[in-house]
Structure 1
């Protein structure tokens, strides 16, 4: 059995190294999904709330939520409910991404 495992391991290419050490950021597609509610926090809009600090877009599904500096923190709540690991700033001129799994920005 050990010989078989060694042969399989020898034929299996090693994964590409991730500069940040975060697979979630490395595996996020280059093209963002369409924002479900462009320029508006989805849950705040449902609540009739228009008081948020900054918006974030989920790079898995396009959900737009308010940041942790906002009263309701809907972007982080979306991660907790769905497990979608990476979001990007949805603010003009900003392109950084955040991985909730590793608390890492790129």
Structure 2
């Protein structure tokens, strides 16, 4: 399901940068679900989490596509085009 996403060229082979939300791990925060940036590997928490660090990472860097970092999930989301990838 890639119709509508114009940022597929920004997906790179990445390795998760942490075993949890990077910011929450630093501050002692808690997360609900994890998302991994497919441009740099940053791991952040979802928008259901208090910190919303995955979306914050997008706003800070412009990296457009994240993938669920939850076991058994492989969906991807483009923040810019607001679509599943």
Same fold (TM over 0.5): yes
Deviating beyond 3 angstroms after TM superposition, the runs of 4 or more aligned structure 1 residues are none
Deviations 1:21-80 (A, max 9, x none): 2121x3254x64000002x1000001012x211000000000000000000100000000
What does residue range 44-63 of structure 1 map to in structure 2 within 5 Å?
Answer: 44-49=24-29, 51-63=30-42
3-state secondary structure, aligned to 1:23: coil
Distance in 2, Cα, partners of 1:78 & 1:48: 18
1:83 aligns with 2:62: yes
User: 1:21, 1:53 → 2: CA distance?
Assistant: 28
For residues 13 and 28 of structure 2, the distance between their equivalents in structure 1, rounded to whole angstroms, comes to 27
> TM-score, normalization: structure 2?
0.91
Residues 82, 28 of structure 1: CA spacing in aligned structure 2 closer, same or farther, 3 A cutoff?
closer
Aligned residues: 85
| TM-score normalised by L of structure 1 | 0.74
Q: CA RMSD in A?
A: 1.7
For 2:68 and 2:58, locate their aligned partners in 1 and report how far apart those are by CA, in whole Å: 14
- Structure having the higher helix fraction is 1
Q: Does 1:105 align with 2:78?
A: no
**Structure 2: stretches of 5+ with no match in the other structure:** none
Instruction: Return the index of the structure with the highest Cα Rg.
Output: 1
Distance in 1 (alpha carbons) for counterparts of 2:4 and 2:82:
12
Q: Distance in 2 between matches of 1:100 and 1:28?
A: 12
**2:9 aligns to what?**
27
